[in-house]
Homo-oligomer: A and B are copies of this chain.
Amino acid sequence: MALIVQKYGGTSVGTIEKIKTVAQRVIKTYEQGNQMVVVLSAMAGQTDKLIELAHEICEQPDPRELDVLMATGEQVSVALFAMAVKSMGYDASSLLGFQVPIHTDALYGKARIHEVDTERIRAELEKGKIVTVAGFQGLDENGNITTLGRGGSDTTAVALAAALRADVCEIFTDVDGVYTTDPNICPKAKKLDTISYEEMLEMASLGAKVLEIRSVEFASKFQVPIHVRSTFSEEKGTMVMAETKDMEKVVVSGVTYSKNEARITMKRVPDKPGIASRIFKPVFEAGIVVDMIVQNTSEDGFTDLTFTVPKPDFHRALELLRDVAQDIGAERVMGDEDIAKVSIVGLGMRSHAGVAQKMFDALARENINIMMISTSEIKISCIIEEKYTELAVRTLHSAFGLDSDSQG
C-alpha cells in the first residue's frame, strides 16, 4: 500500500464533468490499495474572475483580503470533488488550508510554507477516506488566510508529500510530461522519462512551464519524487527526482527559450568601485528582477554594462537608469526589446568539455548572432535576436542529439 499525493490543475477540474472524471480516476488508484491525498486548484477561469471582482472594488486591493477572496476558488473545487467522490460510494473529506493546517509566513499573495501538520490528514486516511486538500492556501501564525501565489497548488502538493513522506507526488497537467523542448516549436521534442531536480529547476526558471519553480525547490529539498503526467491519459509521464548515475551520461537534457526579456545597455560607465551597486539600486528597489548581467573589461577607466529585465518592466527600468546615467556620468542608456533567451540544460555539462563551443558553433552555422552569454554549472543561456528563437531551439535540439528520431 502506497501513500500517493495527486495534484490536479485548474483545467483538469474546469467543469463539473471533469471533476467527476478526476474523482473516478482517483477512486481507481484508491481501489488498487493506495491511500490518496488529492490537491486541487481552482476551476479554470475562477481565479481570474475573482481577481477581476477585486479590481472592480479598487485598483490595488488589500493583499490580506485578496487572499481571503482568492482562497474561495480552491474551496469550491475541493467541496465539489469530495461530493463527487461520496456520490460514487466512497468516503471523502475536504480540508482547507486552515484545517490541515498548512502553516505559512504572512506574505499575502506569495506566502511560503513553514510547516504542514499531518495529524488531521493521517486521521482521515486511517478512516479509509480519500482526502482532498485545497491547493494554494495556508494560514499564518495569527490565523489569517494566506495564498502561495500563482501555481501554488504544485507547492502545496509537494509540501504535503514531503510532510506525509508520501511514496510519490503525481502532478497532473494538460501535457503528458516534461519535454526536451517546447513541442509547439520543435516537433521532434521528446518526452523525458526522468529528469533531475537541478535540471528541472533550470528549465523551469528558463521558461519551461510544466512545474512551478518553488515546488521543484521544495521537492529537491525533501527528496520528494514528482511524477508529471497527463490528466487525460494513463501513460507514464516524467519522473522528476534526485540525480542518478545514468543521468550524467546525457550531456544536454533540454532546450528552453524565453521571449519575456528585454536588454538594457549603459555605455561608458565610469569604472569605479561601488558603481554597479549605485546603478542597480533603484532598479532593485522598484522590485525589478535583473537577470543576466555582463560587464565588459574596462577601457580608459570606462566600461559598458549590459543586462536583461522582464519585458513588462522594460520601460520603467529604462527611465530609472537614464536618471542614474546622468548622476554617475555614464554616456548613455540603450534598450532593445526584440531579444530572446535560448538555453541548454544538462547535468552532463559538469563533466563534459566543449558543450559551450558546440552550442556557439550550432548557432553560428545558422548565422544567429549571440548578443550575451551566461553560464551556470548545468546550463548555458544565449541572448539572440527574437526572430531567430524557433530556429535556434530546433538547431540546438538537433545538435545535442535530442531529436526524437535520433539516439541522443
Residues of chain A at the chain B interface (Cβ within 8 Å):
16, 19-20, 50, 53-54, 56-58, 60-62, 64-66, 68-69, 71-72, 75-76, 78-80, 82-84, 86-87, 92-94, 96, 98-99, 120, 143-145
Distance A62 CA – B91 CA, assembled complex (angstroms): 10
Determine if B80 and A69 form an interchain contact, defined as CB atoms under 8 angstroms apart. Answer: yes
Determine if A53 and B80 form an interchain contact, defined as CB atoms under 8 angstroms apart. Answer: yes
Determine if A58 and B87 form an interchain contact, defined as CB atoms under 8 angstroms apart. Answer: yes
A62-B92, A72-B76 given; 8 more Cβ-contact pairs under 8 Å: A54-B80, A57-B80, A62-B82, A62-B87, A65-B79, A65-B86, A68-B75, A68-B96
Distance A56 CA – B87 CA, assembled complex (angstroms): 11
Q: Taking CB as reference atom, which chain B residue is nearest A132?
A: B65
Nearest-neighbour CB distance to chain B for A256, whole angstroms, equals: 37
Distance A93 CA – B65 CA, assembled complex (angstroms): 8
Which single member of B16, B57, B99 contacts A84 (CB below 8 Å)?
A: B57
Which single member of B60, B75, B78, B83 contacts A66 (CB below 8 Å)?
A: B83
Which residues of B are found within 8 Å of A78, using beta-carbon distances? 68
Determine if B98 and A83 form an interchain contact, defined as CB atoms under 8 angstroms apart. Answer: no
Distance A78 CA – B71 CA, assembled complex (angstroms): 13
Which residues of B are found within 8 Å of A58, using beta-carbon distances? 83-84, 86-87
Determine if B82 and A16 form an interchain contact, defined as CB atoms under 8 angstroms apart. Answer: no
Most chain B CB atoms below 10 A, which of A19, A57, A93:
A57
Q: Taking CB as reference atom, which chain B residue is nearest A19?
A: B57
Nearest-neighbour CB distance to chain B for A76, whole angstroms, equals: 6
Q: How many copies are assembled?
A: 2
Which residues of B are found within 8 Å of A56, using beta-carbon distances? 16
Distance A57 CA – B19 CA, assembled complex (angstroms): 8
Taking A98-B98, A99-B143 as contacts, is the C-beta distance between A66 and B79 under 8 angstroms? Answer: yes
Determine if B66 and A71 form an interchain contact, defined as CB atoms under 8 angstroms apart. Answer: no
Determine if A83 and B65 form an interchain contact, defined as CB atoms under 8 angstroms apart. Answer: yes
Q: Taking CB as reference atom, which chain B residue is nearest A73?
A: B72
Determine if B53 and A16 form an interchain contact, defined as CB atoms under 8 angstroms apart. Answer: yes
Distance A206 CA – B137 CA, assembled complex (angstroms): 45
Determine if A87 and B57 form an interchain contact, defined as CB atoms under 8 angstroms apart. Answer: yes
Determine if B93 and A64 form an interchain contact, defined as CB atoms under 8 angstroms apart. Answer: yes
Which residues of B are found within 8 Å of A92, using beta-carbon distances? 62, 65
Distance A62 CA – B88 CA, assembled complex (angstroms): 11
Q: Taking CB as reference atom, which chain B residue is nearest A78?
A: B68
Which residues of B are found within 8 Å of A93, using beta-carbon distances? 64
17 CB-based A-B contacts, threshold 8 Å: A16-B53, A16-B57, A53-B76, A58-B83, A61-B87, A62-B82, A62-B83, A62-B87, A62-B92, A65-B82, A65-B83, A68-B78, A68-B96, A69-B79, A72-B79, A96-B145, A99-B143
Taking A58-B83, A143-B99 as contacts, is the C-beta distance between A68 and B94 under 8 angstroms? Answer: yes
Which residues of B are found within 8 Å of A53, using beta-carbon distances? 16, 76, 80
Distance A76 CA – B54 CA, assembled complex (angstroms): 10
Distance A210 CA – B80 CA, assembled complex (angstroms): 32
Which residues of B are found within 8 Å of A61, using beta-carbon distances? 83, 87
Determine if B80 and A75 form an interchain contact, defined as CB atoms under 8 angstroms apart. Answer: no
Determine if B75 and A69 form an interchain contact, defined as CB atoms under 8 angstroms apart. Answer: yes
Nearest-neighbour CB distance to chain B for A52, whole angstroms, equals: 10
Q: Taking CB as reference atom, which chain B residue is nearest A101?
A: B143
Which residues of B are found within 8 Å of A98, using beta-carbon distances? 98
Which residues of B are found within 8 Å of A54, using beta-carbon distances? 79-80, 83
Which residues of B are found within 8 Å of A65, using beta-carbon distances? 79-80, 82-83, 86, 92, 94
Which residues of B are found within 8 Å of A76, using beta-carbon distances? 50, 53, 69, 72
Distance A159 CA – B287 CA, assembled complex (angstroms): 46
